[in-house]
């Protein structure tokens, strides 16, 4: 399927394969890249990191021939090159796998993978040879159990579409391959298969560029990490000689500890009380949320955290136990009851469950308060615009207009739009499920500050997160779940990564949810 890029005899695996020299690119008055120099080496995985807007995507588009630089040049295997189109870059052996795969819906997976290189017999596609070839390659790259080569492109899940795009990029002579956030839609076993493929490419002498916001992935797969900030090259480090804190400092110009500025506050009265709650996936959970308090909800994947959140907003049936709101029993027959009671949820899958992607920022922010804005079944547009403008400014949502379509915003700004909706509604309890997933570190710091401000104003917050530093930095208390049950609770003073992990992996989850010493 693919063969390694050409290497000279005796050349060490870290010889320069592709070098960007003093690359600059502007779009009108915006300087997307300013004199960026970057070395991509053969037989190495180079991670490329930076906040949204740092210039990563623009640099990849320059490397792929999608953009031409205003100044600077590219050097491939020692020879200057100029790509005027992605097709020219591909012919030279350079592939960039974008986040949004382009799949032909009405042909098979096999035909999607080998578009432009289909085996033929007398001008007709040789189906037998095609499927024999794709079966071998799927087995070789570890995706045989994930992709059915005979499935139509229209039937593929987002994860499968991403894998087809990756396999398509491996057809032919590959010297340099760049992955732009490749795991955003992949399950854990698919990520492991992808990492196995990347390591195989590296060992074959291919130069690999890996773009991701996910720190654990960087330390799992990369040999070296380079950082861009505000369109400029900050520096690079061998992965073995750096850590999470240093990389955050390089990306945002401040230490990780500075991202969690917690105002001292005393929690108020219990707002939401859950006792022995039972659903299909939750088994006897009890917890309290107090005014002005941030409670972290920890646990491994499948622990039942999101399922608990869905139960607390009436999205799934409750089979046993009870919920009280400010001391009064609360019966939730659906999300509308939760909304009226003052409970809000920002779900994990914001694009699928929280946002109207093809509607404006104004539409999305006002969604939860349309009842207040409507008179005689007509929305008062001036009041709607005033609310949207106020919250865009309050949360520093980066946009040129409240009429901008939400789908065009970065992940961090999309999450701020979700938060702005709830700020407009002012719930008494706000549940945040993975509030910074897919968000760069700069936007994370801003979201952390918003959470802290909401607690300081008296809101009760339940924050679900798979990132332990996030739970430890944000939470006044951490409740940990496993197997649909609470295994323990620790205060902010008691909490350590080791203690939270021990509770998350407890062999015998306590049905009582008793606090652990």
**Is 371 in the same domain as 295?**
yes
**Is 392 in the same domain as 245?**
no
Q: How many domains does the chain have?
A: 3
Determine which helix (DSSP H) or strand (DSSP E) holds 173, and give its type and residue range.
strand 172-174
The upper half-sphere exposure of residue 215, i.e. CA atoms within 13 Å in the direction of its Cβ, equals: 19
**Is 394 in the same domain as 481?**
yes
79-127 confidence digits (pLDDT tens) = 999 999 988 998 899 989 876 677 888 888 888 888 877 878 877 887 8
The upper half-sphere exposure of residue 165, i.e. CA atoms within 13 Å in the direction of its Cβ, equals: 25
Residue corresponding to tokens 């400010």:
326
**Is 46 in the same domain as 114?**
no
Q: Which residues touch 190 (CB under 8 Å, ≥6 apart)?
A: 146, 159, 163, 183
Instruction: Give the end of a domain, one of 253, 273, 301.
Output: 253
Residue corresponding to tokens 């320069």:
16
Q: Tell me if the pTM is above 0.85.
A: no
Query: The CATH number of the domain where 486 resides is what?
Result: 3.40.50.300
In DSSP notation, 30-59 reads EEEEEEEEEEEETT-EEEEE--TTSSHHHH
**Is 354 in the same domain as 450?**
yes
**The token pair that represents 447 in the structure block:** 């979201």
Residues of the chain with pLDDT under 50: 3-12, 509-517
**Is 92 in the same domain as 211?**
yes
Residue corresponding to tokens 């939750």:
282
**Is 202 in the same domain as 308?**
no
**Is 373 in the same domain as 478?**
yes
**Is 282 in the same domain as 366?**
yes
Q: Is residue 510 part of a domain?
A: no
Domain limits for position 94: 17-102+174-253
* Secondary structure, 3-state, 265-295: CCCCCEEEEEEEEECCCCEEEEEEEECCCEE
* pLDDT for residue 133: 85
Q: Is residue 12 part of a domain?
A: no
**The token pair that represents 512 in the structure block:** 């009582």
Instruction: Give the end of a domain, one of 222, 253, 284.
Output: 253
Q: Which residues touch 15 (CB under 8 Å, ≥6 apart)?
A: 7, 8, 41, 42
**Is 322 in the same domain as 199?**
no
Instruction: Give the end of a domain, one of 219, 253, 287.
Output: 253
């Amino acid at each position: 399927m693919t063969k390694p890029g050409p290497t000279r005899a005796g050349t060490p695996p870290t010889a320069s394969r592709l070098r960007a020299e003093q690359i600059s690119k502007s779009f009108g008055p915006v300087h997307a890249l300013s004199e960026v120099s970057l070395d991509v080496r053969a037989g190495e995985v180079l991670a490329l990191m930076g906040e949204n807007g740092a210039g990563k995507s623009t640099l990849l588009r320059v490397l792929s021939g999608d953009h031409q630089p205003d100044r600077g040049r590219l050097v491939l295997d020692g020879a200057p090159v100029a790509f005027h189109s992605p097709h020219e870059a591909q012919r030279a052996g350079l592939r960039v796998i974008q986040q949004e795969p382009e799949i032909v819906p009405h042909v098979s997976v096999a035909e999607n993978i080998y578009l432009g290189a289909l085996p033929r017999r007398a001008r007709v596609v040789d189906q037998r040879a095609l499927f024999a070839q794709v079966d071998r390659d799927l087995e070789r790259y570890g995706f045989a159990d994930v992709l059915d080569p005979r499935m139509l492109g229209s039937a593929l899940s987002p994860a499968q579409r991403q894998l087809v795009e990756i396999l398509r990029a491996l057809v032919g002579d590959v010297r340099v391959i760049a992955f732009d956030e490749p795991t955003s839609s992949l399950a854990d076993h698919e990520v492991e298969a992808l990492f196995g493929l990347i390591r195989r490419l590296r060992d074959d002498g291919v130069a690999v560029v890996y773009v991701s916001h996910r720190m654990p992935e960087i330390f799992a797969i990369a040999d070296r990490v380079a950082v861009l900030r505000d369109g400029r090259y900050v520096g690079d480090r061998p992965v073995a000689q750096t850590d999470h804190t240093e990389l955050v400092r390089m990306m945002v110009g401040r230490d990780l500890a500075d991202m969690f500025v917690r105002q001292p506050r005393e929690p108020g009265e219990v707002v939401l009380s859950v006792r022995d709650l039972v659903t299909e996936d939750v088994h006897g959970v009890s917890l309290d949320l107090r005014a002005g308090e941030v409670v972290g909800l920890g646990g491994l994947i499948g622990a039942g955290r999101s399922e608990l959140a869905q139960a607390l907003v009436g999205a799934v049936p409750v089979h046993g136990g009870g919920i009280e709101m400010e001391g009064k029993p609360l019966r939730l027959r659906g999300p509308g009851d939760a909304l009226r009671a003052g409970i809000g949820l920002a779900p994990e899958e914001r694009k699928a469950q929280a946002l109207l992607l093809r509607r404006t920022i104004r539409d999305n922010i006002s969604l939860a308060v349309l009842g207040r804005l409507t008179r005689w079944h007509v929305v008062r547009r001036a009041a709607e615009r005033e609310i949207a403008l106020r919250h865009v400014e309050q949360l520093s949502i980066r946009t040129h207009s409240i009429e901008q379509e939400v789908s065009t915003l970065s992940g961090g700004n999309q999450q701020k739009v979700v938060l702005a909706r709830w700020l407009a509604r002012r719930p008494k309890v706000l549940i945040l499920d993975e509030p910074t997933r897919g968000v760069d570190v700069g936007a994370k710091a801003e979201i952390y500050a918003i959470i802290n401000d909401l607690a300081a104003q008296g809101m009760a917050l339940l924050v679900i997160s798979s990132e332990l530093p996030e739970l430890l930095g944000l939470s006044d208390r951490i409740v940990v779940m496993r197997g649909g049950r609470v295994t323990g609770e620790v205060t902010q003073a008691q909490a350590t990564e080791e203690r939270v992990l021990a509770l998350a992996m407890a062999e015998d989850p306590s049905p009582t949810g008793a606090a652990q010493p």
